[in-house]
Amino acid sequence: MTLQILTIPCLSDNYAYLAHDPDTGQTAAIDVPEAGPIIEALENKGWTLSHVLLTHHHWDHIDGLPDLLAKHPAKVIGAAADAHRLPPLDIALAEGDTVEIGNETGQVIDVSGHTVGHIAYYFPESQTVFTADSLMALGCGRVFEGTMPQMYESLCKLAALPPDTTVCSGHEYTQSNAKFALTVDPDNPALISRAEAVIAARSRNQPTVPSTLAEELATNPFLRADNPAIQAHLGMTGAHPAAVFAEIRARKDRF
């Protein structure tokens, strides 16, 4: 059986996730913005926490860890490159390494850019990738520590995954991301339709995360820097997609 994935709203606009292997009972939490909602979900499901997978060092992804571990001890896993500023790790990983949750093997992908040392976890059998603040629904994380080319390369890695992959990202930013996306890709019917669906979902206080990679490839401007219509709209026809990405990201920063 594949992993059972539970999306857990935290703080004001964060998401954590639980990934549960029904065959073995092992359960991983992916990021811990705060402990309470994760503890409640574990207890409601009757699941036993076995692992915590951390994506990057920002406080709103790790601050709940001490309280979670006090109630549910587990192995803490994160990036070796980020170990000096993450909570103490039991297992430190880098791109190309794997992590076992029950009977399923996840792959570690370096997605530096938002931070240096940010990693994503891809579980092929469950067709799910946990991207936190790298690839996001209709957006991507602000480039705080890395470079624009580095972030573009990271997004290209994620874009190369199978289109039916579920993208579990870290924030409920989709409505504002959609508003921006329409400024650089205004004639995209798929984007227009998705933006309307996002507005409707948020009006009912429904989450817009996770998404699918197919949706992101069709509508997320940060994955579409090679699209001729976007390039023409930006006055960058024929430019290298990495340069187009940098322009889109710079515009989003000012939006």
Whole-angstrom distance, CA of residue 148 vs CA of residue 114: 9
Q: How far apart are CA 198 and CA 175, in angstroms?
A: 6
Determine whether the annotation assigns residue 61 to a binding site.
yes
91-117 core/surface letters (b: 16 or more CB in 10 A; e: else)? eebebebebebbebebbbbbbbbbbbb
Give me the DSSP letters along 112-165: TTSSTT-EEEEETTTTEEEEETSEETTEE---SSS-HHHHHHHHHHHHTS-TT-
Known binding residue 20? Answer is: no
What is the predicted pLDDT for the residue at 10?
A: 98
Q: What's residue 70's pLDDT?
A: 98
Q: Is 171 among the annotated ligand-binding positions?
A: yes
Please report the pLDDT score of residue 216 as a whole number.
98
pTM of the model: 0.97
Q: Which residues of the chain have pLDDT under 70?
A: none
Q: What angle do CA 205, 211, 216 make, to 5 degrees?
A: 125
pLDDT of residue 85: 97
- pLDDT for 133 equals 98
What single-letter amino acid sits at 198? V
Structural tokens at position 68: 């979670």
- 58 known ligand binder: yes
Give the pLDDT score at 161: 98
3-state SS class at 212: strand
By annotation, the residues acting in catalysis are: 56, 58, 60-61, 114, 133, 171
Per-residue pLDDT tens for 149-190?
999 999 999 999 999 999 999 999 999 999 999 999 999 999
Asked whether residue 51 is marked as a ligand-binding residue, the answer is no
Delineate the domains of the chain, giving CATH numbers in brackets: 4-169 (3.60.15.10), 174-254 (no CATH)
* Per-residue model confidence (pLDDT) at position 80: 98
Q: Which tokens sit at 222? A: 């940060």
